[in-house]
Chain A
Amino acid sequence: MHMSDGLLNAPVSVAFLVIAAAAVGFALVKARADLDDRTAPMAGLVATFIFAVQMINFPILPGASGHLLGGALAAILVGPYVGALCVTIVLVVQCLLFADGGLTALGANVTNMALIGTATGFVVAVALRKLAERGKGGLAAVAFISAFVNTLLAATGFVVEYAIGGAGGVEIGKVALLMWGMHALIGIGEGLITAVTVTSVASIRPDLVFLLRGSRKPLEVRS
């Protein structure tokens, strides 16, 4: 879902660079509270895993593919602020090292995948936390649903950006229909990958799953 330069006009691209920079700055400040000697290495590995899995485009329709975005995955495992930073780092490396995703489009790409994806994935996951705490099946369901929603809403981010300042004057209804149709399919893949990843981590190291940690906060004991 990495848009190239030129799909959005220059003022809109710059506006989203500013929005993304401000939001990432905010996340940098808020992330501190969620990072310690144990969760910092985990966050690094979550970013690394998302980069690796984003390389794997899976087919969705003849002539079209999709890949993990990773917002819900990151938010469930390391929290929304650290999660947004994880996806941002992935997008920056992809843009600068692999010329994947435009340079002026980086702000809009960060906004869609790192900010909207992570935030919506987290909101859905928290809303369903009770189900996630019920066991492996519940956690898998919550991971799937929040990942599906993060994919659709990240796609919606592009639709909105194109509506504000897209090049080529394509009818927005057509853009929305194609984006939502294909990302509903991609969202199923995103949901499956997220469910498998989160339940795998939870079965080995449940203490490293941010979403499950929240419930234990009142009982936190300082040694």
Chain B
Amino acid sequence: MKKFFLGFAVVSLLIAGVLSYFASSDPDGLDKTAQDTGMAAHAQQHPLAGSTFADYSLGGDSRFTGLAGVLGVLAVLGLSFGLFWLLRKKTPSTDTAD
């Protein structure tokens, strides 16, 4: 059981940390629609556009996309694991030591 969860986490880390370098940098379907129709002219810059990891980079340097990806994986893992662990039903059949 532990092995499966560990494997799942490692796969996510590899995708975000390594495979992310091979992702297409073309606009996605919605952004392309916005560009082609001209509605993109109304798009506003993100209030946090200047933040450290904006656009999956490190200070705007996209060579660090993998690092940003790993950080994101850890952030999502921490947040979601924490939330779901707190929300879970505590079943009487399982005695957790923690």
Total interface residues in chain A, CB < 8 Å: 74
Contacts A57-B28, A67-B28 hold; do A89 and B83 have CB atoms under 8 A apart?
Answer: yes
Q: Check if A93 sits within 8 Å of B79, measured CB to CB.
A: yes
A155 at interface, CB cutoff 8 A: yes
| Neighbouring A residues of B8 by C-beta, 8 Å | 45, 48-49
Residue in chain B with minimal CB distance to A85: B83
Which one of A36, A42, A51 contacts B91 once the chains associate, using CB atoms below 8 Å? A36
Chain A 169-186, CB-CB to B under 8 Å as 1, else 0, gives: 010001100110011011
Please, how many angstroms separate the alpha-carbon atoms of A178 and B89 in the complex? 44
Chain A binding surface, main DSSP class:
helix
Q: Which residues of A contact B (CB under 8 A)?
A: 1-7, 28, 31-33, 35-45, 47-49, 51-53, 55-60, 63-67, 82, 85-86, 89-90, 93-100, 102-103, 155, 158, 162, 166-168, 170, 174-175, 178-179, 182-183, 185-186, 204-205, 208, 222-223
Q: Which residues of B contact A (CB under 8 A)?
A: 1, 4-5, 8-9, 11-13, 15-16, 19-20, 22-30, 32-34, 36-49, 51, 53-56, 65, 68-69, 71-73, 75-77, 79-81, 83-85, 87-91, 93-94, 96
